[in-house]
């Protein structure tokens, strides 16, 4: 990446929720831009944390921790890290735009997951041309 990336232009280029676009790479990490709509699947990344920054909308992240389940609500401008090894389920009732940071090659549905419905793109991200 040798030129600035206009995130609005990237967003204008796709509408599919749960199908992130890789907008940059920093060392061994992808910076991904994604649209969230409806529910994702319960999943876990055994070896990596997952960083969420909500650029627009509201995101809810269900977490399964030792004390049981809880939901973290992230309004626009909020950031949150899901620690490695924690089952989680992102969702957005009204839709959201989220910036994610994960190691390159991390699959969107994690290492273990519930059955993946058709509206979820099980991918390592799509490069922005």
The secondary structure of 91-106, three-state, reads: EEEEEEEEEEEEECCC
- Cα 58 to Cα 9: distance, rounded to the nearest angstrom: 21
Q: What is the pLDDT of residues 99-110, one digit of tens each?
A: 999 999 999 999
87 close to 63: Cβ distance less than 8 angstroms: yes
Domain residue ranges of the chain, discontinuous segments joined by +:
7-106
CATH 2.60.40.10 assigned to domain 7-106? The reply is no
Q: What pTM was computed for the model? A: 0.95
Q: Is the pLDDT of residue 1 over 90?
A: no
**Rounded to 5 degrees, what are φ and ψ at 2?**
-115, 0
Beta partners for residue 51, in sequence order: 81, 101
And the tokens for 114?
Answer: 């519930």
Q: Is the pLDDT of residue 28 over 70?
A: yes
């Amino acid at each position: 990446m040798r030129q600035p990336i206009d995130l609005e232009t990237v967003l204008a280029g796709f509408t599919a929720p749960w199908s992130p676009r890789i907008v940059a790479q920093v060392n061994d990490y992808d910076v991904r831009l994604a649209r969230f709509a409806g529910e994702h699947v319960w999943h876990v990344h055994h070896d990596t944390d997952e960083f969420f920054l909500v650029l627009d909308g509201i995101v809810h992240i269900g977490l399964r921790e030792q004390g049981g389940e809880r939901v973290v609500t992230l309004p626009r401008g909020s950031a949150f890290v899901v620690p490695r090894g924690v089952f989680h389920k992102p969702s957005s009732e009204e839709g959201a735009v989220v910036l994610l940071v994960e190691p390159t090659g991390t699959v969107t549905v994690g290492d273990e997951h519930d059955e993946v419905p058709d509206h979820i793109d099980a991918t390592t991200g799509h490069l922005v041309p």
